[in-house]
Structure 1
Amino acid sequence: MTESSRIGRFGDRARALVEGGTAKLEGDDGKDRREAILRLSGLGLIAGLLSAILVIPLVGGAGIVARDAAAGFMSLPNHLDVPYPSSRVLLTDDSGEPFGEVAQRERDVVDLDEMSPWMGAALMAVEDDRFYEHNGLDLRGVLRAAIRTAQGNTQGGSTITQQYVKNLLIETAETEEDVDQASARTITRKLTELRYAIDIEDRYTKDEILQGYLNLAYFGSGAHGVEIAAKRYFSTSAAELDPGQAATLAGLVRAPSYYDPINNPDEARERRDLVLDRMVATGQLDSEEAAAHKEKGLGVDTTPRAGSCAESEYPFFCDYTMRWLAESDLLGDTKAEREQRISRGGFTVQTSLLRDAQDAAQEAIDRRVPHQDSTKFSAQAMIEPGSGRVRALAQNLRYGFDDEEVGTTSINLSVDQADGGSSGFQAGSTFKAFTLAAALEKGLGYGTSFNSPKSMSIGGMANCEGGTMSSWNVRNAGESDEGGHNMLSGTKGSVNTYFAQLQRRVGLCETSETAEAVGIHRADGGDLGVWSSFTLGDQEVSPLNVANAYATFAARGTRCDPRPVRAIREDGTGERVTADSHCERAVKKQTADGVNHLLQQPFKGGTANGLDLGRPVAGKTGTTDGAAYAWFAGYTPNLSSAVVVGDVRGGEANPLQGVTIGGRYYGIVYGGSLPGPIWQESMRGGTAGLEAEDFAGSPGSFGDPNADPPKSKDDESDTEA
């Protein structure tokens, strides 16, 4: 007797035992039975046969084998956690309105009663027509598949429950090795799968298992779960699937790539028709209706894959949020834990995005610096003082990855390099605010005066290592007036030679340390360069960083770390975790109040004249040396913003001089001529729904809040209030 015939005879006997209970086959004795069982056990060919042995009373040596096999089987792990299926990370704005989603596994979880009944019928017809009759192990199917596998024709015999278990093991795998083990065609994997299936059937109803399977199964083309599959292939919902569509999807689970209706329509149609035939055979569908669906084409009507920030309504804010989450302890203590959590998804992120502010910022930028304007760019960030909530991130360049497509970039120009941004842009005279803060923090008053000529040489400054800096030649920009100035007039006119002398009086190191205290850092992550021209903003920073530093003054000296997230809610449980603010005092309250008073001066006939908002506002223009970049940074007590304009090829080599932007010609782009109007329009929209708050009054310790500048232009001395 050949090995194949012996296995075949044993297969027949096993089938007879299942179907006929105590039926016997002629010509068999106990020795033959033991030999066949031991041979099958040695070959490890039939995983399901062990389960059959567990429920079939055998005698003699076969009974001992069954007993030992049963003991080994029952010792396998028997409890499988069923987590909420991995799906997308949904992003909403501050009010809870969605604006984007990110998913490595695009999936929308729906209840069974939200699925067309044809879907379950089609799946059971082709995969497990006795699903509601067995307890997770369909012995007929298992033995049939085992016999054919033993004869060299590998065939699956898994029930829907077993397939669900396999999908769960893949879903919860933490490593590639775990995935391979969950998919391996081995006796160990099959036995483990069977053991878990028994547990799943014991703990869940059939409807719950079917619902779980249809939400977990992969249907190809990036579609995880039946809801996304219905959308991907037919642009409909799972609830609206007709018998032909359901049959197409049910046919996919066996081999999603091979039966792909988009790329392999002939194979997909043949598989669909087979499923329809099975639906007729199992009484789920009448033959006339099946024939009608067979006559139709597949009816594919695809919906492009979503699930990335590129498809988000606000792609740059989406990208910044996802990067922030990857570093936040809200999703885990280690980077690996956070990455795995994001990969699994299944939670909703309520961001701090204020839709009115975001839309206003985008519209203002697009109007004045269109993305079609070749190499010119503008970027803006808005943040809430006292909380660090990022309210808006806007730029004229559209989100894209094609370097050759004009007006697109994947770089978020509003944020630091580590957050997906650039290496930053020199901030110009916006840094003068930090010199003011250092002076006030040191006890100098508004009346601190210097004769401030058009140009001068400044020497004697020392860096933080104690090294003396060489003499620095500084000159006023075209928007500055020479003469005698105090803090009020020097700020109003943004007088370079005044601030150079004020920085020398305060101390170069003290000025840079104050800037760091309120939140300033380089966009590329390097150390601030502490040299003579620090007060004129020769450091490369991001708009978000400048906006946040200015927000420290608006919050009366409290610096908060920027954060784009308010809360995270688990989709499965509804559990909500709030993202707390991380804030600390940076400068004295009266120092911040003094800076707030000084930064209101540019709006009173100074460099920010005409840029007011009809409510209390403070701010500062910034134009770098040679007009490489132009800035405007300003704030109300409840919203801070910074705008930069430049050239993506590099401002130093491509300055904002003699340029036409948005159809308007500029001899030189100053902070107040282009960034200022963008800021003004954006802030009007962003603060429209916010209460008009007042700044605290000017501290009396700093002297007369309206002190006139010194009259003499020739007096080389300086005074203090």
Structure 2
Amino acid sequence: MLQRISQLVVVSAIAGLLVAALTLPAVGGVGITARNIAAGFLDMPSNLETPPPPQRSTIYDAEGGVIAEIFDQNRELVPLDDVSPVMVDAILAIEDARFYEHGGLDVAGTLRAALRTLGGNTQGASSITQQYVKNVQIESATSQEELDTAREETIARKIRELRYAVALEKRMTKDEILEGYLNIAYFSDGAYGVESAALHYFDVHASELELHQAATIAGLVRYPYLYNPRFFPEQTVERRNVVLDRMVAAGSITEAEAAEAKEEPLEVDLDTPPNGCVPSGEPFFCDYVVQEIEKDERFGPNETERARWLRTAGLEIHTTLQPQVQQASQEAVDKWVPRENESRKVSAQVIIEPGTGRILGMAQGRNYGPDESKLGETSINFATDSDRGGSTGFQAGSTFKAITLAAALEEGLPFSTAFNSPTSVSVSGQRSCNGGTLATWTPSNAGDTASGTTHNMVSGTKASSNTYFAQLQARVGICDVMEMAEKLGLKRADGTLFTENENSLANSSFTLGSEEVSPLRVANAYATFASGGMYCEPQAITSIDDKQSGTTIEIEPECERALEEEVADGVAYLLSQTFNGGTASALGIGRPAAGKTGTTDGSAAAWFAGFTPQMASAVFVADPRGPQQYPLRNVTIGDRYFSVVYGATISGQIWKESFQGAHEGLEVEQLPSAPGRFGSTSVPRPPSSEPDDDPSPASDDGGVPDVVGRTEADAVAALEEAGYTVNVSGTRLNSSEQEGTVAAVNPDPGTRLPSGATVNVFLSRGGGSADGGQEDDDGWFRVRPAHTPTTGPPD
């Protein structure tokens, strides 16, 4: 207490000398002393920067609706003209009645405070200008050291504040200082600035405050905790009445007006605006926007600075989220995978606009919150990658077959590219991107195809035949398929590229979707097909208005051509056939669409990815505790029991219902037709012993001629005569056939194919017996049924 008293006395003395020095001529020793003090005082630094104080940032959807408000301090700036005159009178009466008379140093007030403090009645001595200076220094602090200096209870701090106050009064008007003070002051209970305080306590704007309300708010500044109406309502009322008495003394109100105001009950509303993504109606998209700002170098030199900018600059963040799309998506997710389902399964969906990359919807079957142990609550955004607040991903199943189709078409293979696709096949000789040879792989189907069935791209896609796509991947080259995935923006959800990840490079089953990815990346890859081959980076933000700097950041789509238009259109055509007798037959939405189911081994995860010309989406369902340990078998989700969940069972239904709602009111647009460069879209005809009333265009009723052992010229002539296109491999197989003659053909002899289908011919290098699985120099293989076939789930 003695230290505090002595500080006030010293400050009062300094203030008196400074005023004398600055206003009177030098007279004797006292004048010289005053002049010397003033000279030293005026030599102190005085250029105080007064940036706008921290305020709320707001995230808006594409139609201007508020998604969330993000802030460190609940503050909204208002001009002085938008503050009720009675509020101005109240703050002046209680904090600085001589504000418009002094020059930043209220000597009379300082001396009076010192005398009262000496008498045992501790009283502050700072003018509004000095208080404003202190608050500016606190809010401008960028380190704990600067913050401690701004708050320290020392004579040095008081002197600095006095110097800044004197300088501030010379370059700012009184109204400007008062406006700054009313916007920066803390009014208790988390309310910063007079506008936020008015809304917080009384649910009115600062311009609408009545006398008793203004007096209540003004009384909170001196001791915000002691007078907090939430905890100490009686003290709040007492303080309000003190303010009213000061207003009477200042002549701003009459005693009768004060008496009437004192009769008003406190009745504070305590309406605190929701802060952050937890209370948002679109919490996971909100979190994605926050992550985008904090992780993007465009918005600041480091993550700490970007986070501070977001929470203090009063940003208006305009996003791509379409309310209609988001609502349809969230309703469908919640219907099929309720947030608090006892099975603890989760679903997430992302919907993207082709040709722009704009995220139109992002929904998840969870409540947003930090308590992972609470049923139905998580802060992990399963829709996106781990670097944007997501998980390390889930295997995407047969949705990856679309990538293999794109790689095959890009290399010029026609739709008629056919393989005998039995229940199981053995694939050997595949080479990864690092040059290594992969182990023999034996994929299998599970009921969607039978041994001996021949598929081409059209029928193989319809049936989602694993054995067909295993052979197509090997024909194209697994490295080419991985590189195609990366061209489409796909990568592992942990952030690594497939061609750089050791586990991925050893993964023969890439085409079957054994890589862990996020719905966001899969949806965006499918959006590339829908857009005619234009790849666009996923985009959540369209513009940011920075109210502190007065600037606007416009964010345009980042797009580039990833595929030839005909290749993308070819994939779109093939995927559209899944709705026509394929695995998506029950998922039609009443307008042209393309899509692909996906179920991982053992039904660990189930997916659907699909698109129209206007939207592309990916949906997954799995158990975040571990899909393999908690598969989608014999499970009750919500009030539905499932013996096994496939891609079309839940994910497909979510996609269907969300797309129906999202497209409501939109014009029906057509998907592109099949590009002519890829040939016939006919499916292979199955073998039959019955008379053929509609013979295949192929002239040889026995299917692919058996040309093994014949010369290259004879084999090519026989195959072309049968109506097929011939591809002779540039490398040769070990074979018991004479060197230079045909060692094998693919598909096998006797396979029925449509006219123009491609038959691959492999010549013998001699020197060995044909075993159907011998690798040659280009990594090709020959199909042979597995001795111990296994089964996997149909999509």
TM-score by length of 2: 0.81
Q: Aligned match of 1:452 in 383, 405, 421? A: 421
Q: Secondary structure at the match of 2:351?
A: strand
Q: Which residue of 2 aligns with 1:32?
A: none
Task: After TM superposition, give the deviation of residue 302 of structure 1 in Å.
Answer: 1.7
Question: Matches of 1:150 and 1:59 in 2, distance apart?
Answer: 30
Matched, 1:471 2:440: yes
Question: Structure 2 counterpart of 1:674, which letter?
Answer: I
Indicate how the Cα distance of structure 1 residues 49 and 620 shifts in structure 2: closer, same or farther if over 3 A, else same: farther
Secondary structure at the aligned position of 1:447 is classed as: coil
Q: Matched residues in 1 for 2:73 and 2:684: separation?
A: 65
How many Å separate the matches in 2 of 1:198 and 1:481? 91
Q: Which moved more, 1:517-526 or 1:112-121?
A: 112-121
Aligned to 2:200: 232
Say yes or no: does 1:144 pair with 2:119.
no
Q: Is the 8 A contact 1:167 1:216 kept in 2?
A: yes
* Residue 316 of structure 1: aligned partner: 284
1:228-277 deviations in whole A, cap 9, x for unaligned? 22233334432333333322221211121122111223333332222222
CA contact (8 A) 2:366 2:376 kept: yes
Higher alpha-carbon deviation: 367-376 or 670-679: 367-376
Equivalent pair of 1:357/1:685 in contact (CA under 8 Å): yes
Q: Structure 1: how far apart are the matches of 2:95 and 2:176?
A: 17
C-alpha contact (below 8 Å) 1:45/1:150 kept by paired residues: no
Report how far residue 151 of structure 1 moved. Answer: 9.4
2:249 equivalent in structure 1:
281
Counterpart selection for 2:474 from 504, 508, 511: 504
Aligned partners of 1:623 and 1:671 also within 8 Å: yes
The CA distance in 2 between the partners of 1:176 and 1:48, in whole Å, is: 33
Q: Distance in 2 between matches of 1:695 and 1:47?
A: 80
Cα displacement string for residues 516-544 of structure 1 (whole angstroms, at most 9, x for unaligned residues): 12111111224431311111111111111
Tell me by how many angstroms 1:51 deviates. 4.2
Partner residue of 1:708 out of 683, 686, 699: 683
Match of 1:414 among 355, 379, 383: 383
Superposed, 1:229-628 pairs within 5 Å as: 229-374=197-342, 375-480=344-449, 483-528=453-498, 529-530=504-505, 531-571=507-547, 575-628=551-604
How far, CA to CA, are the matches of 2:206 and 2:421 in structure 1?
74
Given that 1:45 and 1:146 are in contact with CA atoms closer than 8 Å, whether structure 2 keeps it comes out as no
| Cα distance in structure 2, aligned partners of 1:252 and 1:323 | 36
Taking a change above 3 Å as real, the CA distance of residues 45 and 435 of structure 1, as seen in their structure-2 partners, is farther
Aligned counterparts of 2:156 and 2:665: Cα–Cα separation in 1: 63
Match of 2:501 in 1: none
Return the alpha-carbon distance in structure 2 between the equivalents of residues 206 and 78 of structure 1: 18
Deviation at 1:372, TM superposition (A): 3.2
Match of 1:29 in 2: none
* CA shift digits 1:370-408 (9 cap, x unpaired): 223221221100111222211111012111223343222
Offset at 1:45? 7.3
Cα separation, 2, equivalents of 1:488 and 1:254: 77
TM-score relative to the length of structure 1: 0.89
Check if 1:80 corresponds to 2:48.
yes
What amino acid is the match of 1:708?
Answer: V
- Which SS does the other structure have where 1:610 is aligned? helix
Distance in 2 separating the partners of 1:471 and 1:438: 22
CA–CA distance in structure 1, aligned partners of residues 79 and 335 of structure 2: 46
Worse-matched range after superposition: 352-361 or 290-299 = 290-299
Report the aligned-residue RMSD. 2.7
Write the distance in 1 (CA, Å) between the matches of 2:493 and 2:276: 25
Q: Distance in 2 between matches of 1:689 and 1:366?
A: 23
May I ask how many residue pairs the two structures share in their alignment? Answer: 685
User: Which amino acid letter does the alignment assign opposite residue 142 of structure 1?
Assistant: T
For residue 604 of structure 1, report the CA deviation from its aligned partner. 1.2
Q: Give the direction of change, closer, same or farther, for the CA distance of 1:501–1:712 in structure 2 (3 Å limit).
A: farther
Query: How many Å separate the matches in 2 of 1:370 and 1:404?
Result: 17
SS in 2 for 1:310: coil
Q: Relative to structure 2, which stretch is displaced further, 568-577 or 117-126? A: 568-577
Q: Which moved more, 1:658-667 or 1:337-346?
A: 658-667
Cα deviation digits, residues 117-158 of structure 1 (max 9, x gap): 222222111110112222322221133345667999875322
Q: Which moved more, 1:242-251 or 1:674-683?
A: 242-251
Q: In structure 1, what is the Cα distance between the partners aligned to 2:687 and 2:437?
A: 31
Indicate if the aligned counterparts of 2:486 and 2:497 stay in contact, CA closer than 8 A: no
Q: CA deviation at 1:545?
A: 1.1
Deviation track 1:201-221 (CA, whole Å, cap 9, x = no partner) reads 334333332222111111122
Contact 2:595–2:608 (8 Å) recurs in 1:
yes
Provide, for residues 459-508 of structure 1, a one-character-per-residue CA deviation record: whole Å limited to 9, x for no partner: 22122222222122211134456510001110111100000111111111
Partner of 1:679: 655
Give 1:297 shift: 4.5
CA–CA distance in structure 1, aligned partners of residues 300 and 429 of structure 2: 50
Which amino acid counterpart does residue 321 of structure 2 have in structure 1? Answer: L
1:720 aligned to which of 758, 762, 765:
758
Q: 2:97 aligned with 1:59, yes or no?
A: no
Query: In structure 2, which of residues 635, 640, 646 is the aligned counterpart of residue 670 of structure 1?
Result: 646
Deviation at 1:682, TM superposition (A): 1.2
* Higher mean displacement: 541-550 or 520-529: 520-529
Offset of residue 669 of structure 1: 1.4
Q: Give the C-alpha shift of residue 295 in structure 1.
A: 4.5
Preserved CA contact (<8 Å) 2:15 2:107 = no
1:459 partner amino acid: S
3-state secondary structure, aligned to 1:641? strand
Query: Residue type matched to 1:433 in 2?
Result: A
The letter for the 1-side match of 2:515 is Q
| Distance of aligned partners of 1:262 and 1:699 in 2 relative to their CA distance in 1, 3 Å threshold | same
Counterpart-to-counterpart distance in 2, 1:342 and 1:680:
37
User: Secondary structure at 2:316's aligned position in 1?
Assistant: strand
Alpha carbons 2:634, 2:641 under 8 Å: kept = yes
Question: Hey, what's the Cα distance between the residues in 2 that align with 1:377 and 1:412?
Answer: 11
Shift of 1:304: 3.6
Give identity over the alignment, percent. 50
Report the Cα offset of residue 573 of structure 1: 6.4
Task: Report if aligned partners of 1:492, 1:606 keep a CA contact under 8 Å in 2.
Answer: yes
CA distance in 1 between partners of 2:124 and 2:636 (Å): 69
Select between 349-358 and 64-73 the one with higher mean Cα deviation.
64-73
Cα distance in structure 2, aligned partners of 1:391 and 1:689: 16
Q: CA 1:76/1:686 → structure 2, altered by over 3 Å: closer, same or farther? A: farther
CA shift at 1:317, angstroms? 0.9
Kindly tell me: are residues 80 and 477 of structure 1, through their superposed partners in 2, closer, same or farther at Cα, counting changes over 3 Å?
farther
Query: Residue 443 and residue 58 in structure 1: after superposition, are their counterparts in 2 closer, same or farther (change >3 A)?
Result: same
Opposite residue 492 of structure 2, the aligned amino acid is R
Which position in structure 1 is the counterpart of 2:608?
Answer: 632
The Cα shift of 1:566 comes to: 0.2
User: In structure 1, the residue corresponding to 2:426 is in which secondary structure?
Assistant: strand
Report the equivalent of 1:21.
none
Q: Distance in 1 between matches of 2:49 and 2:16?
A: 23
Letter in 1 for 2:358: R
Which segment drifts farther, 661-670 or 492-501?
A: 661-670
1:15 aligned partner? none
User: How far is 1:624 from its partner?
Assistant: 0.8
Shift of 1:342: 1.4
SS at match of 1:252: coil
1:650 is aligned to: 626
Whether the aligned pair in 2 keeps the contact of 1:280 and 1:290 (CA below 8 Å) is yes
Matches of 2:643 and 2:13, distance apart in 1: 83
Partner Cα separation in structure 1 for residue 13 and residue 598 of structure 2: 77
> Computing the radius of gyration over CA atoms, which structure comes out larger, 1 or 2?
2
Task: Note if contact 1:369-1:378 (Cα within 8 Å) is conserved in structure 2.
Answer: yes
